[in-house]
Structure 1
Amino acid sequence: MKILITGATGLIGSALIKFWQEQHQLIALTRSAVNAEQLVSQGIAAVTELSQVDFNQLDAVINLAGEPILGKRWSAKHKQLLCQSRWQLTEQLYQAISTANTPPGIFISGSAIGYYGAQNQQIITEDYSHPFADFSHTLCQRWEEIALQASSATTRVCLLRTGIVLAKQGGALKRMLLPFKLGLGGKIGSGQQYMSWIHIEDMVGLIDFLLLHPTLQGAFNATAPYPVTNSEFTQQLATTLRRPAILPLPSPVLRLIMGEMADLVLNSQRVVPARLTAASFQFAYPQLDDALTAILAR
Structure 2
Amino acid sequence: MKAAIAGGTGFIGKELTAELIQNGYDVYILTRNTDNKKERDHIHYVKWLSDDAKPEHELHDIDVFINLAGESLSSGRWTEKRKKRILDSRITSTREIIRIMTSLPQKPDVLINASAIGIYPISDTETFKETSNALGQGFLTHTVNLWEEEAIQADKAGIRTVLTRFGIILGTEDGALPRMAMPYKLFAGGKIGTGRQWMSWVHVNDVVRAIRFAGEYESLQGPVNVTAPNPVCMNDLGKTLAKVLGRPHWLFIPAPALRAGLGEMSTLILDGQKVMPEKLLQSGFQFNYPLIRGALDDLYKGSVDK
Asked whether the two chains share a fold, i.e. TM above 0.5, the reply is yes
Tell me, in whole angstroms, the C-alpha distance in 2 between the residues paired with 1:6 and 1:105.
16
- Out of 129, 148, 151, the position equivalent to 1:147 is 151
More helix, by proportion = 1
Contact in 1 for aligned 2:11/2:175 (Cα 8 Å): yes
Q: Could you give the per-residue CA deviations for residues 218-247 of structure 1, whole angstroms, max 9, x where no partner exists?
A: 110010001100000000000111110111
In the alignment, which residue of structure 1 is the partner of 2:272? 268
Structure 1 unaligned spans of 5+: none
**How high is the TM-score relative to the length of structure 1?**
0.95
Matches within 5 A, 1:176-187: 176-187=180-191
Contact in 2 for aligned 1:104/1:154 (Cα 8 Å): no
Tell me, in whole angstroms, the C-alpha distance in 2 between the residues paired with 1:245 and 1:14.
32
In the alignment, which residue of structure 1 is the partner of 2:56? 53
SS across alignment from 1:133: coil
Distance 1:43 1:211, change over 3 A: closer
SS across alignment from 1:159: strand
- Out of 106, 113, 120, the position equivalent to 1:109 is 113
In the alignment, which residue of structure 2 is the partner of 1:284? 288
- Out of 171, 174, 179, the position equivalent to 2:175 is 171
% identical aligned pairs: 37
Letter in 2 for 1:28: I
Tell me, in whole angstroms, the C-alpha distance in 1 between the residues paired with 2:255 and 2:146.
29
Task: Give 1:11 deviation, angstroms.
Answer: 1.2
Task: Give 1:37 deviation, angstroms.
Answer: 1.4
Tell me, in whole angstroms, the C-alpha distance in 1 between the residues paired with 2:267 and 2:170.
19
Task: Give 1:189 deviation, angstroms.
Answer: 0.5
Structure 2 unaligned spans of 5+: none
Matches within 5 A, 1:1-298: 1-22=1-22, 23-33=24-34, 36-37=36-37, 40=39, 44-49=43-48, 51-54=54-57, 55-152=59-156, 154-298=158-302
Task: Give 1:153 deviation, angstroms.
Answer: 7.2
Letter in 2 for 1:114: G
Tell me, in whole angstroms, the C-alpha distance in 2 between the residues paired with 1:56 and 1:152.
21
RMSD (Å), alpha carbons: 1.6
**How high is the TM-score relative to the length of structure 2?**
0.92
Tell me, in whole angstroms, the C-alpha distance in 1 between the residues paired with 2:250 and 2:33.
42
Tell me, in whole angstroms, the C-alpha distance in 2 between the residues paired with 1:154 and 1:202.
28
